[in-house]
Amino acid sequence: MSSVAKKTAGTGAPETGSSSQATAERIPAAQRRELILEAATGVFAERGYAGSTTDRVAKAAGISQPYVVRMFGTKETLFLEALDRAQGKLLRAFRDVIAAYDAGELAEELQHLDPAAGSGRPGQLKQLMAIAYADLVADRGILMMLMQAFVAGHEPAIGARAREGFLDIYRLVRDEAGLSPETVRDFLAQGMLMNTLIGIRLPEVYEQDPTAEELLECTLRSKLPMVLKASKAQRRAG
């Protein structure tokens, strides 16, 4: 039992093509880790912590379930790492906007802002960050991952991390963008509304329901077309 039928029977082609390969391509653990976290983010975002299985994450990542468990130890640890990753991406997106604004690199974007919402640095940054947030909304993974953590507060470890993460975001917007607490509150509130509209999949009924249309247009504004497009793409993907 050697030297014959080493990997796949029949053709010598490695099975990197489509789904359900017998054995995944060998790649370094660090890269595999990131692939699993990416897959886990999508799965957890869609189905929540309790509703997700390590096997579904494994299938989404193209590997076997035991490998997922061995690499992260427990499902909870996997969730927490995916959560940290998502929070990090959100913080980075906000910091990038602030840095670009302060470097004067957003002259073009400033033309499209609403002057009524404030023409100083805080007012403009608030609008620019809202746009950055809507860009992330289109993804559906990052922000719904956070949202799922916010409603999983009964799991002690997840609740604690979610609290810390939310307060981190609050402080970033308040201190680095320089918004007043009330303005930060309104900014976060708009974000939570966007999350909710995405969570209930309102874009999917945009064309059939005038009320949904009005609420989406009023909330997402210029970012609506992009979100609708992403919604359709993700429905095709399943």
Partner DNA sequence: GCTTGTTGTAATCGAATGATTACTTAAAAG
Partner DNA sequence: CTTTTAAGTAATCATTCGATTACAACAAGC
Chain positions contacting a copy of itself, by CB under 8 A: 46-51, 144, 147-148, 150-154, 159, 162-163, 166-167, 170-171, 181-182, 184-186, 188-190, 192-193, 195-197, 199-202, 205, 209, 211-212, 214-215, 218-219
- State in angstroms the smallest separation of the CB of 193 from a copy of itself: 4
Select from 58-66, 118-126, 199-207, 223-231 the region that touches DNA (CB under 7 A).
Answer: 58-66
Orientation of helix 29-51 relative to helix 75-102, angle to 10°: 110
Say what the alpha-carbon torsion angle 109, 111, 112, 115 is, to the nearest 10 degrees.
Answer: 120
Question: 86: Cβ–Cβ under 8 A, 6 or more apart, which residues?
Answer: 41, 141, 142, 143, 145, 146
Q: How far apart are CA 238 and CA 234, in angstroms?
A: 6
Which of 67/166 has CB closer to a copy of itself? 166
What DSSP character marks residue 72? H
Nearest to 135 by CA among 220, 199, 196, 203: 220
Q: Chain centroid to CA 137: how far?
A: 7
Q: Supply the minimum distance, in Å, between the C-beta of residue 204 and a copy of itself.
A: 8
In angstroms, give the least distance from the CB of 217 to a copy of itself: 8
Does 13 bind DNA (CB under 7 A)? Our answer is no
Least distance CB 129 / DNA (angstroms): 35
Q: Residue from 9, 22, 103, 107 that binds DNA (CB under 7 A)?
A: 22
- From the list a copy of itself, DNA, none, pick the one residue 166 interacts with, judged by a Cβ distance below 5 to 8 Å according to partner type: a copy of itself
Cα separation, 237 vs 73, whole angstroms: 30
Shortest distance (Å) from residue 161 CB to DNA: 17
Q: Would you count residue 6 as binding DNA (CB under 7 A)?
A: yes
With respect to DNA, which residue has the nearer C-beta, 19 or 208? Answer: 19
H, E, C per residue of 125-161: HHHHHHHHHHHHHHHCCHHHHHHHHHCCCCCHHHHHH
Which chain residues interact with DNA by CB under 7 A?
6-7, 21-29, 32, 52-55, 62-67, 69-70, 73-76
